[in-house]
């Protein structure tokens, strides 16, 4: 191992970049969250907790509650939808697995804004769904789905389903099929095979997938902004509103850190449950 330690400075530029251009900005957000808003929207450096205490307003609590709830439901739907697909890919012939995985990965890397817009186009009052349903005579009044929680839910599931499938696949692919066969040989019913063999053995993938879907859903901005109405604000929209519209940066920063706390809790849970290899 004589190549070791020949370039000990290698990590310096990336570490410096990460510390000064990412760590410092995050610490600034934390610092500003304890400041107060100046008369003209500036920042007054007084140590105060008012930004955090004012979150405990029913108006804001409702937005937090809605965000958590939508993120939980999105995660659950993604799990139910993603599991069969991950299982089917993991059990497909090796040659076909690559193509199937690519099909899951492509939307995941495709412009999120545009993918969300596709649903606006479909769900609008005079959009494709209503046009088709009305011309088939199935409905007479257009359905108002856009700008509701339903539209936000569809958009979130659509956006983050690949985040669920990939780690699930990684876990299921490692699952030894002979264990499933053994369960069949011992006369397990299909449900028992699933709940007693497949599910416990794929638990790391389930946890990874749930965390990876929950985090971006909780902090979603584009989806509720485009598909939700004024009444379906989520934390992300509230932060953006405080930063760019109201220009109350201290309060916006406090909101960001509460969101951050939620994210860190999810990440810690993920790390403790023991899986960091399923990202790529």
Partner 1 sequence: MKTGRWVIAASAADLLFLYLPIAILIVFSFNASKLSARWQGFSLQWYAQLFTNQALLAATENSLIIAVVSTVLAGLLGVLTAVALERQPFRGQTAFEGFLLLPIVMPEIMMGVAMLLFFVMIKLPLSLVTMTIAHTVFNFPVVALIVRARLHKLDPRLEEAARDLGATPWVAFRRVTLPLLMPGIVGALLMAFTLSLDDFIISFFTAGVGSTTLPIKVYGMLKTAVTPEVNALSAILVLVSMALVAAATWVQRK
DSSP letters of 149-162? Answer: HHHHHHHHHHHHHH
Judged by CB under 8 A, the residue of 34, 160, 169, 249 near partner 1 is: 249
**Cβ-contact 188, 196 below 8 angstroms:** yes
**Cβ-contact 219, 236 below 8 angstroms:** yes
**Cβ-contact 91, 177 below 8 angstroms:** yes
Number of residues that bind partner 1 (CB under 8 A): 94
Ranges within 215-234 binding partner 1 (CB under 8 A)? 215-216, 218-222, 226
CB-wise, 129 or 149, nearer to partner 1? 129
CB-wise, 48 or 92, nearer to partner 1? 92
CA 67 – CA 217 distance, rounded (Å): 8
**191 counts as binding partner 1 under rule CB under 8 A:** no
CA 55 – CA 194 distance, rounded (Å): 43
**199 counts as binding partner 1 under rule CB under 8 A:** no
We find the least distance from the C-beta atom of residue 23 to partner 1, in angstroms, to be 7
We find the least distance from the C-beta atom of residue 167 to partner 1, in angstroms, to be 13
Ranges within 46-105 binding partner 1 (CB under 8 A)? 81-82, 84-85, 87-89, 91-92, 98, 102-105
**167 counts as binding partner 1 under rule CB under 8 A:** no
Judged by CB under 8 A, the residue of 187, 190, 231, 245 near partner 1 is: 190
Ranges within 21-50 binding partner 1 (CB under 8 A)? 21-26, 28-29, 32
> Which of 229, 67, 237, 234 has its CA nearest to residue 144?
229
Candidates 45-53, 121-129, 144-152, 202-210: pick the segment binding partner 1 (CB under 8 A). Answer: 121-129
CA 139 – CA 145 distance, rounded (Å): 14
Judged by CB under 8 A, the residue of 48, 54, 79, 115 near partner 1 is: 115
CA 214 – CA 196 distance, rounded (Å): 25
Candidates 50-58, 117-125, 144-152, 168-176: pick the segment binding partner 1 (CB under 8 A). Answer: 117-125
From the centroid of its chain, how far is CA 260?
Answer: 13
> Which of 124, 136, 152, 164 has its CA nearest to residue 232?
152
Q: Which two tokens stand for residue 173?
A: 């692919």
**185 counts as binding partner 1 under rule CB under 8 A:** no
């Amino acid at each position: 191992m004589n190549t070791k330690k020949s370039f000990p400075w290698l990590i310096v530029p990336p570490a410096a970049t990460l510390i000064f251009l990412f760590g410092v900005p995050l610490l600034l957000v934390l610092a500003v969250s304890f400041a107060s808003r100046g008369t003209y929207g500036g920042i007054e450096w007084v140590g105060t907790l008012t930004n955090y205490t004012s979150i405990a307003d029913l108006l804001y609590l409702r937005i937090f509650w809605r965000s958590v709830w939508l993120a939980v439901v999105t995660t659950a739907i993604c799990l139910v939808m993603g599991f069969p697909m991950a299982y089917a890919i993991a059990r497909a012939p090796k040659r076909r697995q690559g193509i199937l995985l690519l099909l899951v990965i492509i939307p995941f890397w495709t412009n999120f804004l545009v993918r969300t817009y596709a649903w606006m186009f479909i769900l609008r009052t005079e959009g494709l769904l209503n046009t088709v349903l009305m011309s088939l005579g199935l409905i007479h009044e257009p359905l108002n789905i856009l700008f509701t929680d339903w539209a936000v839910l569809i958009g979130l599931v659509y956006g983050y389903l690949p985040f669920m499938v990939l780690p699930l696949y990684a876990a299921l692919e490692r699952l030894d099929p002979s264990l499933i066969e053994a369960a069949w040989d011992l006369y397990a019913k299909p449900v028992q095979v699933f709940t007693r063999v497949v599910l416990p053995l794929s638990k790391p993938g389930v946890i990874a997938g749930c965390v990876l879907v929950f985090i971006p859903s909780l902090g979603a901005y584009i989806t509720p902004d485009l598909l939700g109405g004024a009444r379906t604000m989520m934390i992300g929209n509230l932060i953006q509103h405080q930063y760019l519209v109201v220009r109350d940066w201290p309060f916006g920063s406090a909101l960001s850190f509460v969101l951050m706390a939620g994210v860190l809790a999810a990440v810690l849970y993920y790390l403790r449950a023991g899986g960091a290899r399923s990202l790529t």
